[in-house]
Amino acid sequence: MTMNILASQNLLHELGRLGVEDVVICAGARNSPLVAVLERARGVRVHSYFEERSAAFFALGRARRDHRPTAVITTSGTAAAQLLPAAIEAFHTGVPLILVTADRPRRLRGTGAPQAIDQTGLFAKFVELEIDLEAGEELAPRLAAWTGVAPLHLNFCLDEPLLDGPLHAWQWPQGTMSAHRNESGDGSEEEGQTDTELKSRLTAFFARAAQPVAIVGTLTTPSERAAVEEFLVRLGCPVYLEATSGLRESTRLAQQALRSGDKVLSWALRLGHVDGVLRIGGIPTVRIWRDLDLPTSRIDVLSISRWPFAGLSRGEFIAADPARMPRHDFKTCASAQALLERDRLGQRHLAACLEREPTSEPALVHALSRLIPTGATTYLGNSLPIREWDLAAAFESANWVRASRGVNGIDGQMSTFFGHMSEHSEGWCVLGDLTTLYDLTAPWAFHSNSGLRARLVVINNGGGKIFSRLFGSPLFENRHGLGFSAWAAMWGLDHETWTQVPREWRGSDRVVIEIRPDEGATERFWNAYDAFWAAP
């Protein structure tokens, strides 16, 4: 006799104790005991999906939004394998994603039986802990090894008969991750040692770098943003603030912020106006970050991030919480007047280019940033949208932008956006056309949440235009003539096509907005913008 129902309730109870409040379920025969028990749970939000890859990315977005673990549950076989892309992104951004994969009994591994693959090791190094579990085996003590700094994989083996016992209503437990990862620190001795090391490493860095520039990537919490802002104000050096830092529009940093685009950084390095780069937060989007890894680069680099990734094969790295940036007056940096003056000239040139080519892609992104209201959830896809936002978005639009910058992939982006969404706010998801094609099942999220207000903005330039400036070959671009009106209609969404962005938004709460940039105007914009920075 099996014990599937009892074991399923125990597993789900442990998820609640870990702090899970949202469960994303992709129902199938093998995970039917989990589905049946979950249906009778009170006090947990259940999101039903039919497609596992989108489900996992939705769970990733929800875990990021709430800073607490979120679980996704699949059936066995290739269904479990669909979770890998989201697991990789979660691993690289420290998201406590829980992957629950139902499985057939262990005795069937290697036999070729239907839907019986070896699911152990499926997520390889991209999970912090994997637990292979059969009904009747103890789970709780084994979960103590999970700290929540990377995904958890629970592989749950279930034998026939699957539904083997009575089902009753039950209360989902209210747990916490406080015994695991602590987002803001708890003042422990270990953290005190980290603070001391951080101050020491920063002091040594500024002793070597007389003309530093700071680049701030993704920051994940309000406490991180507040601490980093205060640190940079006291430091006083030039700063490049990416949209995902939440500080791009900071008025306190306006006088030292570089606002002409990331080419000012390449210009400064080329002419010797910078001798050190301090990176804070996630790995930067800017092109110069890749150039710093070249064997010819001699620029001093120090990276500070809660995520354990240096992002370069050279330079120094310290894993520390940016919320604990020291309140300390480091030595005064050398004058950065030449760099800041060039940046202000570049900012005026950029504004002129945007005004001259209003139907170019960067100008449309600029206008879109003005249209999106303050307080909306704004999610940017990888590839061109996030780069064009960093370059051209208005600085008056104080929206903290979300994105997936762990491995910079374009899959699952819209599903991740839906995970970030809340019923209490409106959301704007800005993606490229190929990124949208990667995630056409994402609007399924509307089925489990009728209150969502989402504007899905597709910048349709007919292919992967980021590659046209890199390689100049149509093979890289995947050129197409596809539109998105029929896709919108399939999901019951309104559809609009824009060649210009309106000054005010009076459209639907659920709409696909297809923006069509003018290719000639876009090319003229980039030619004019690049020409300014080519000059000494």
Which DSSP string do the residues of 62-123 spell out, in sequence order?
Answer: HHHHHTS-EEEEE-STHHHHTTHHHHHHHHHTT--EEEEEEE--GGGTTTT-TT----TTTT
Q: Has residue 339 got a pLDDT over 90?
A: yes
Residue 47: φ, ψ to 5°: -115, 120
Position 186 scores a pLDDT of: 46
Take residue 470 and report the two structure tokens written for it. Answer: 């890199």
* Cβ neighbourhood burial of 536 (10 Å; 0-12, 13-18, 19+): exposed
Domain annotation covers residue 171: no
User: 375 and 324, same structural domain?
Assistant: no
**162-166: long-range contacts, CB 8 A cutoff, minimum separation 24:** 162/4, 162/29, 162/30, 162/32, 162/33, 163/4, 163/5, 163/32, 163/33, 163/36, 164/1, 164/2, 164/3, 164/4, 164/5, 164/33, 165/3, 165/4, 165/5, 165/6, 166/5
Chain-wide mean pLDDT for the chain? 93
326 versus 397: which is more confidently predicted? Answer: 326
Cβ atoms of residues 277 and 212 within 8 Å: yes
User: 268 and 230, same structural domain?
Assistant: yes
User: 123 and 79, same structural domain?
Assistant: yes
Position 157 scores a pLDDT of: 97
Half-sphere exposure of 440 (CA within 13 A, CB side): 11
Position 180 scores a pLDDT of: 40
Per-residue model confidence as pLDDT tens digits over 235-250:
999 999 999 999 999 9
As a whole-number percent, the residues of the chain with pLDDT over 90 amount to 84
Position 191 scores a pLDDT of: 63
User: 131 and 49, same structural domain?
Assistant: yes
Nearest to 274 by CA among 217, 209, 198: 209
Domain annotation covers residue 174: no
Sign of the Cα pseudo-torsion (524, 529, 534, 536, in order): positive
Domain annotation covers residue 341: no
What distances in angstroms separate CA 427 from CA 375, 455, 476, 506, one per listed residue?
9, 6, 31, 15
Q: Please, which residues have CB within 8 angstroms of residue 195's CB and are 6 or more apart in sequence?
A: 320, 324, 326
Beta bridge partners of 377: 427
What band does 156 get if pLDDT is binned at 50, 70 and 90?
Answer: very high
- What is the full DSSP assignment across 460-471? --SS-GGGTTTT
Could you give the CA distance from residue 465 to residue 383 in angstroms, rounded to a whole number? 9
Domain annotation covers residue 184: no
User: 361 and 330, same structural domain?
Assistant: no
Domain annotation covers residue 350: no
Position 277 scores a pLDDT of: 97
Position 190 scores a pLDDT of: 59
Domain annotation covers residue 453: yes
Per-residue model confidence as pLDDT tens digits over 448-463:
777 899 999 999 999 8
As a whole-number percent, the residues of the chain with pLDDT over 70 amount to 95
Position 188 scores a pLDDT of: 52
Q: Please, which residues have CB within 8 angstroms of residue 57's CB and are 6 or more apart in sequence?
A: 85, 86, 89, 411, 412, 413, 415, 416, 419, 439, 442
User: 405 and 320, same structural domain?
Assistant: no
Domain annotation covers residue 178: no
- In this structure, what CATH number is given to the domain that contains residue 429? 3.40.50.970
Per-residue model confidence as pLDDT tens digits over 50-77:
999 999 999 999 999 999 999 999 999 9
Last residue within a domain, chosen from 166, 201, 233? 166
- In this structure, what CATH number is given to the domain that contains residue 262? 3.40.50.1220
Q: If you average pLDDT over residues 274-294, what whole number do you get?
A: 95
Q: If you average pLDDT over residues 133-144, what whole number do you get?
A: 95
User: 121 and 253, same structural domain?
Assistant: no
- pTM score, whole prediction: 0.94
Position 477 scores a pLDDT of: 80
User: 201 and 150, same structural domain?
Assistant: no
**DSSP conformation class of 340:** H
The Cβ of residue 506 has, within 10 Å, a number of other Cβ atoms equal to 5
Q: What's the structural domain count of the chain? A: 3
Last residue within a domain, chosen from 166, 181, 213? 166
Q: Has residue 516 got a pLDDT over 50?
A: yes
Position 425 scores a pLDDT of: 81
**DSSP conformation class of 406:** S
Q: If you average pLDDT over residues 204-210, what whole number do you get?
A: 93
Could you give the CA distance from residue 353 to residue 360 in angstroms, rounded to a whole number? 9
Cβ atoms of residues 218 and 244 within 8 Å: yes
User: 261 and 368, same structural domain?
Assistant: no
Q: If you average pLDDT over residues 291-306, what whole number do you get?
A: 93
Position 527 scores a pLDDT of: 96
- What is the full DSSP assignment across 140-197? HHHHTT--SSS-EEEEEE--SSSS-S----EEPP---STTS--SS----HHHHHHHHH
Position 181 scores a pLDDT of: 45
What band does 469 get if pLDDT is binned at 50, 70 and 90?
Answer: low
Strands 426-432 and 453-459, bridge-based pairing: parallel
Q: Has residue 355 got a pLDDT over 80?
A: yes
Residue 170: φ, ψ to 5°: -150, 160
Position 64 scores a pLDDT of: 96
Position 184 scores a pLDDT of: 42
Q: Has residue 506 got a pLDDT over 50?
A: yes
First to last CA, the chain: 79
Take residue 328 and report the two structure tokens written for it. Answer: 């300390």
Per-residue model confidence as pLDDT tens digits over 162-178:
999 999 999 999 988 64
User: 363 and 299, same structural domain?
Assistant: no
- Which amino acid is residue 441, in one-letter code? T
User: 121 and 50, same structural domain?
Assistant: yes
Position 328 scores a pLDDT of: 77
422 versus 201: which is more confidently predicted? Answer: 201
Rg of the chain on CA atoms, in Å: 25
Which residues form the domain of 240?
Answer: 189-336
User: 327 and 392, same structural domain?
Assistant: no
Position 448 scores a pLDDT of: 77
Take residue 317 and report the two structure tokens written for it. Answer: 């790295």
Cβ atoms of residues 387 and 285 within 8 Å: yes
Q: Has residue 183 got a pLDDT over 60?
A: no
Position 2 scores a pLDDT of: 64
Position 252 scores a pLDDT of: 96
Per-residue model confidence as pLDDT tens digits over 393-438:
999 877 779 999 999 999 999 999 999 998 878 999 999 999 999 9
Domain annotation covers residue 317: yes
What band does 465 get if pLDDT is binned at 50, 70 and 90?
Answer: confident
What band does 332 get if pLDDT is binned at 50, 70 and 90?
Answer: low
The Cβ of residue 188 has, within 10 Å, a number of other Cβ atoms equal to 10
Residue with tokens 């998801």: 429
Sign of the Cα pseudo-torsion (439, 377, 448, 6, in order): positive
Last residue within a domain, chosen from 276, 301, 336? 336
